[in-house]
Amino acid sequence: MPIKYVRFNYFEPQLVPADQLLRAELMEDNEDVDNLRDIPHYRWDMAPMLDYLMTNHEFTTDFALGDEYAEIEPRSYRYDERGDTYDFQLSKLRESNIPSKKRFHTIKEDILLDQDEFIGEFVSILYDNHLGAVALQSNLYGLSVKQTEIFLTNVRADFLAAIGEEEGDTLMHVKLAPLVDTLQLERAAQADYYKKIRIKGSDVMGTALLTGDNLLSEASEMLDRVNGVNFDITLSLGRVERTASLDNDAVRQVVEMFEELPVRAKPKIEITAMQNEEAQTETINLLEPRMTDRISVNVAPRTTIAHEHLTDEFREQAFNHRRNDIMRVLRPVQG
C-alpha cells in the first residue's frame, strides 16, 4: 500500500487587536518579524467554543473566503479526555479549476457539479487544551494558515453572538503564532548531510556580515561590489546519491556565524539537511525555526485519508512525543 507523508505545523492560538494587526501587516517592512511580536496578544482558549460546536449541531460555520468557501466538516469534532485534546477538520470548497475524469485511450470527461456542489480539500486540526497549542495539517490544496486565521475569527465572532457575549470595544482577530524551537539551530549544526542552503539578506546587514571567510561574508562582499540592495543565494546538490552532501564545515560555519549576529543583522537562512542516513530530509529556517513534524500514513489507491485515522496516527507517531518540546516553549494554560 502506498505511503503518503503528511506534515503538521505547531502554533499558539492568539487573539490580537484587529486594527493593530492590519496596520502591522500593511507596513512596508512587514517582513520584519518584530512588527507582529510587538502587538499585544492574548492566549485564546478554544475549548469553550469547541465544546459548544460539538453539542450544537444546528450551528453553521460556512463562510466565504474570497472566491472560495470554508466550513468545519460536520460531525468531525472529537474530544480525547485522556489527553485533553480536541480535533476537527476544516473543509475548503472551491468551484473553479475543476479537474476532469480520464481513462486510457478515451477522451477526457468534465466533472459536472450541481449549483450546491464543490470540490472539497481538507486539513485536520488538533488542539491541546492543557498546553494551549494547535497542530495544523499542511496541505497545499487546503486552507492556508492565513485563511484558517480569517475563518476561525469569523466562527469565533458568531459563537460569541450565539451565547450572548460581546466582543468589547476592540475587535479581536485570531492569530496562529508559529511555535519557534531554537533547539533546531543545534539540529542544523549537527546534521550529517546538507542538501541545500539558501541565504537572503540586504545591504543593511552588510557591515555585520563582513567578518571572517565564509559564505555570509562572501555574499556581502559581492553585494558591495555590484552596488546591490538585496541578495538571494541558493546552493544545492543535483541528482546525487542519498548520502551526498554540501561541504559540512562551510555550512556549519554559516550556522555559527548566524548565532553570533545581532537580531537586526541576521539574514534569512534556510538549511535543508538530513540528521543521519535513516532520517527524512527537513528544512530548517534559522531565523524562525518553526516546530513541525512529518508522519507517514498508508493510503490505498483511489481513497482519501479519513480525518479520524490521520489524527490518530499523528498522535501516535508525533504529537505524544512532542509534548515536552511544546511545554519547553509554551507555558501551560492550566496549572
Averaged pLDDT, 133-155: 95
Instruction: Look at residue 159 and tell me whether its pLDDT is greater than 90.
Output: yes
| pLDDT for 335 | 42
- Mean pLDDT across the chain, nearest whole number? 86
Parallel, antiparallel, or unpaired for β 3-17 and 292-298?
antiparallel
- From the number of C-beta atoms within 10 Å of its C-beta (0-12, 13-18, 19+), residue 39 rates as middle
**Percentage, residues of the chain above pLDDT 90:** 45
Span of 50-64, 68-82, 132-146, 221-235 with lowest mean pLDDT: 221-235
Q: Is the pLDDT of residue 85 over 90?
A: yes
Cell of 290: 518553526
Ordered DSSP codes for 248-298? HHHHHHHHHHHHHS-GGGPPEEEEEEESSTTSPPEEEESSS-B-EEEEEEE
Entry pTM: 0.82
Burial class (CB in 10 A: 0-12, 13-18, 19+), 161: exposed
Residue 295's pLDDT is 92
pLDDT value, residue 121: 93
pLDDT number for residue 238 = 79
Residue with the larger pLDDT of the pair 220 and 50: 50
Non-local (6+) Cβ contacts of 208 within 8 A are 261, 262, 265
Strand 109-110, strand 100-101: pairing? antiparallel
Higher pLDDT, residue 22 or 122: 122
pLDDT tens-digit profile of 45-71?
Answer: 999 999 999 999 899 999 999 889 999
Instruction: Give me the pLDDT at residue 214, please.
Output: 66
- pLDDT at residue 268, rounded to an integer: 85
- pLDDT value of residue 28: 47
Confidence of residue 82 (pLDDT cuts 50, 70, 90): very high
Give the pLDDT score at 35.
56
